[in-house]
């Protein structure tokens, strides 16, 4: 039985941002320092404040 501990697949992590004013949602890749409820810049639609509402990872499907 062989197991490789070094070949761990790194799944991409995503950050979901949401505008507190108009509710616009955007998805981007996770960046260092991201955490939920962190302010994340300006909304491109209404210039409101974007906050991070969700951080998740898509785990690779394994058999
Ligand atoms: Zn907005």
Laid out side by side, the sheet with 25-29 consists of 25-29, 13-19, 49-57, 39-42
- Supply angle C-alpha 59, 27, 44, rounded to 5: 175
Q: Ligand 1 mean position to 22 CA, how many Å?
A: 4
Query: Is residue 4 domain-resident?
Result: no
Phi, psi angles (nearest 5°) of residue 57: -125, 145
Number of structural domains, the chain? 1
pLDDT in tens, 22-45: 999 999 999 999 999 999 999 999
Query: Is residue 40 domain-resident?
Result: yes
Query: Is residue 3 domain-resident?
Result: no
Query: Is residue 63 domain-resident?
Result: no
**Residue range of the domain that includes 35:** 13-57
Q: Ligand 1 mean position to 37 CA, how many Å?
A: 16
Band of residue 10 on the pLDDT scale cut at 50, 70, 90: confident
Q: Ligand 1 mean position to 58 CA, how many Å?
A: 26
Query: What distance in Å separates the CA atoms of residue 15 and residue 45, rounded to the nearest whole number?
Result: 19
Query: Is residue 1 domain-resident?
Result: no
Q: Ligand 1 mean position to 26 CA, how many Å?
A: 10
CATH number for position 52: 3.30.1330.30
pLDDT in tens, 41-56: 999 999 999 999 999 9
Q: What is the DSSP letter of 40?
A: E
Query: Is residue 8 domain-resident?
Result: no
- The answer to whether the CB of 52 falls within 8 A of the CB of 13 is no
């Amino acid at each position: 039985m062989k197991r490789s501990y070094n070949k761990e697949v790194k799944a991409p992590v995503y950050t979901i941002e949401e505008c507190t004013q108009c509710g616009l949602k955007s998805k981007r890749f996770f960046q260092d320092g991201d955490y939920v409820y962190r302010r994340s810049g300006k909304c491109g639609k209404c210039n409101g404040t974007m906050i991070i509402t969700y951080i998740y990872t898509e785990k690779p499907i394994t058999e």
